[in-house]
Amino acid sequence: MKLSKLLKPLADRELRQYTDRSIQGLTLDSRRVRPEFLFAVVPGPKSDGTAYVADAVARGAVAVLATREVPVPPHVALILVPNVRQALADLCAHFHGRPAGLVRTTGITGTNGKTTTAMLVHWLLAKDGKQAGLLTTVLNQVGSRRERAANTTPESPDLQELFAQMVEQHVRYAVMEVSSQSLDQERVRGVPFAVAALTNVTPHEHLDYHGTFENYLNAKARLFSSLAPGATAVLNADDPQCGFFRERRGPGNVLTYGLQATVDVTAAIEGMTIAGTTLRLHTPVGHVRTRSPLIGGFNVQNILAGTCCALALGVGLSTIAEGIEQFAGAQGRLERVNEGQPFTVLVDYAHNNDGLRSVLSTLKPLAAPGRLIVVFGCGGDRDPSKRPLMGATATHYADVTLVTADNSRSERTEDIIAEILAGANPQAHCVVEPDRREAIRRAVAMAAPRDLVVICGKGHEDHQEIAGVRTRFDDCSEARRALGLLQRRSRASSRRTFVAPAAH
């Protein structure tokens, strides 16, 4: 596409050193520049982006998008705009022929539960014969192609390219997680959402980015304020912030859900064990009984949110009930690790206080008469105020708490652990083990038959970042190794025999 054609959506622009070059692609990452690319100068947390212009030009950039003058060679076009991210999103959509307009997209935002809800909606659409793209924290999927996701919500160049792939493969539905950062950074600008859903909103999350809880709320509200007539807002009536989002929604429809009576979609929980949850769904189109392998009140909320989204997209209630029964959950969300041990091992992504409390309060009664053993840490270079809160939560619910590392990044692991322990119950059984691999091994080794071990914080993640160095690390894999080691030791000593896990 010629630069002159590409720039048509930008009314407020100033051209410098303009030459009408052919543009083969757009990016905001200089490392991904190819010949005849446009490079967008986007400020980052540690740089204003201008330091990467020379690298982009050296790699073949022929146009630079920026908010102010930057030094570029005479053959490189310079386009000045008031807001680079807005302009970049508009250009990317235009470059690919505005593909998102041809796809019925469901956007799911919230502090916790986005991935499980998104994957459930994707599953229910598939059960109804509707092929859908899926963009989540865990993976991106278009057709048969699946790849690990770099961000919860892709940057606008990647996002519009993914939508273009969907259109090319005749995929007419999409389900995606929409993070607060992506809304603030205009990544989803140009995506006309058919359904926008809220899982929940809790304080002490992403304050390192947004600064205040009010900014966090306002960022998420942008998903709902942009809804057009005919679109549907799905809101959690049990969340204290439901009214805030209802007031800021666009002119579309509203579906509410929750465990209170005055909602559109609710559920009566008839039973819950470690093996799953039996519930009766009550919806505007009828009532149905179903059983889900998922456990916990928070997962019932996710099921209700997914049900609302599916109903808004025309999926029948019987299909929804059948799909719920067959949906095994998302990777790293209370994921079971079973190597034949006589106790339960779960891996979960709970990495904030609300998520940890939801998981542990669910598991505590299900662990009985065994013990609940939790392994967790807190991430470095993130809001430190949640650390003592998580220490208090873990030691309140767990019989044994192992405090360890979880992506300490540039901070000292020992300092993070000290902040966690500041909130811990001093009377609780609390073990400090900075080495996460060793903490998992110790948790597994101390587990007795019918105990329940839950490893929290990393979920699906496949790396550990300590002192700025990333190494491969997967909680599920480490748990399997720990169980295998325990099994080999028990065989060698003949002091412990592994049997099939007993039903709780």
Domain containing 361: what range?
335-493
pLDDT confidence tier of residue 499, bands split at 50, 70 and 90: low
Over pLDDT 90: what percentage of the chain?
91
Tell me the C-alpha distance between 344 and 335, whole Å.
11
419 vs 493, more confident = 419
Query: Mean per-residue pLDDT for 402-431?
Result: 98
Q: Which residue has the higher pLDDT, 496 or 389?
A: 389
Amino acid occupying residue 10: L
| 8 and 115 part of one domain | no
Is residue 461 predicted with pLDDT exceeding 90? Answer: yes
Band of pLDDT at residue 107, cut at 50, 70 and 90:
very high
Per-residue pLDDT at 279: 98
Write out the two tokens for 204. 């002490």
Give mean pLDDT, residues 122-150: 97
Tens-digit pLDDT profile for residues 184-208: 999 999 999 999 999 999 887 777 8
Q: Does 501 sit behind a cis peptide bond, omega within 30 degrees of 0 on the bond before it? A: no
| Interval 340-371: pLDDT, tens | 999 999 999 999 999 999 999 999 999 999 99
- CATH number assigned to the domain comprising residue 54: 3.40.1390.10
Q: What is the pTM (predicted TM-score) of this model?
A: 0.92
| Secondary structure of 376-433 as H, E, C letters | ECCCCCCCCCHHHHHHHHHHHHCCEEEECCCCCECCCHHHHHHHHHCCCCCCCCEEEC
Q: What is the mean pLDDT of the chain?
A: 95
Assess if residue 107 is contained within a domain: yes
256-305 pLDDT, tens digit each: 999 987 999 999 999 999 999 999 999 999 999 999 999 999 999 999 99
Is residue 284 within 8 Å of 263, Cβ to Cβ?
Answer: no
Read off the pLDDT of residues 443-455 as tens digits, 9 standing for 90 and up.
999 999 999 999 9
> Under a CB-based contact definition with an 8 Å cutoff, are residues 27 and 33 in contact?
yes
Residues 144 and 129 in one domain: yes
> Domain end: 62, 78, 95, which one?
95
- Determine the pLDDT at residue 494: 60
Does residue 504 lie in a domain region?
A: no
Q: What pLDDT is attached to residue 496?
A: 47
Does 368 share its domain with 422? yes
Number of domains in the chain: 3
Residue 472 within a domain: yes
| 428 and 393 Cβ atoms separated by less than 8 Å | no
